Amino acid sequence: MQRRTFLELTAAALAAGAVAAHAPRADAAERETLDAAAYRRTRRYADLPFGRIAYVERGTGPAALFLHGAPLNGFQWRGAIERLAPHRRCIAPDFMGLGYSQIPEGQSLAADAQAAMLAALLDALKVDAVDIVASDSGGAVAQLLLAGHPGRVRSMLLTNCDVEPDSPPAKVMPVIELARAGKLADDTAKWLTDKALARSTFGAAVFADPARFADETIDYYVTPLVSTPLRRRQYEAFHVALAPNPLAGIEATLKRSAVPVRIVWGAADDLFLQTDADYLDRTFAGSRGVRRVPGAKLFFPEEFPDVIAEEALRLWGVRAGR
């Protein structure tokens, strides 16, 4: 039952075609977006005490830090980075246990360790402060980074993500249980040989149009996760570390923050509650309000990077034409 739950995530997700009719129009300028081969060529590594951290960096100026969800990696933000690189030094790392970062066995993959890794990465890159753009479990890490290193965060743009009252969300618990049972990597590996399965299950759950979950994207996300026995264990350990709640007790600290925060929420996502967006709006004194994106699901930033770029530029006080 748990395997089927993971592969389906939710039965309602299979009705994605109906929802997609109300979703934002997909970006026309896809030729401007980095494909997997170009993104791979851009990848760099930073040798840190946590391991060899993979990241992509494009653009110049004040730094922006892009934090991805699971089981994705920094490639999630390729479209937004293309649009925002003229305005920011865009840095998109791969979290420990996901993507192409190379982590020694035994290293904690919990959210607080991920936040500590990011602080070390910023030190290595000589970055004092960043504008954060974060999604999914990356949003939990963003909140921990803000709480632990408040001077390093200029602003945050948060899409559908964990919040203290809803972390991990109930519909993610079957995935965590699969990871605890040592079965998650095997199930995910099936996507490499059955792309239709990837699109009809995971893709339908997290994208407005699962057909846009391209073969090369599936390969780029999944290949490192299942490439070695160690990577399989770390992929599962990442998910096991999502519980218990990594944000427990953080609300009071977030309420004291004056950092500007914009919440952009996929209105068709049923993994994270719609009320989670309202919680963030109430919690952050510097909230710039909530924008709900009709028809958009959890990983809408990958499908609709124009929405992310538009909201980020407004939050940063940058005119799009500049």
Please, what is the Cα angle at 190 between 188 and 196, to 5 degrees?
105
Check pLDDT > 60 for residue 198: yes
- Please give the structure tokens belonging to residue 16: 């994605």
Domain boundaries, the chain: 18-167+245-315
Closest residue by Cα to residue 168 from 67, 244, 234: 244
Place of tokens 């791979």: 40
pLDDT tens for 210-243 read: 999 999 999 999 999 999 999 999 999 999 999 9
What is the CATH superfamily name and number for domain 18-167+245-315?
Alpha/Beta hydrolase fold, catalytic domain (3.40.50.1820)
- Please give the structure tokens belonging to residue 260: 């500007």
pLDDT tens for 88-133 read: 999 999 999 999 999 999 999 999 999 999 999 999 999 999 999 9
Q: Which amino acid makes up residue 164?
A: E
Check pLDDT > 60 for residue 296: yes
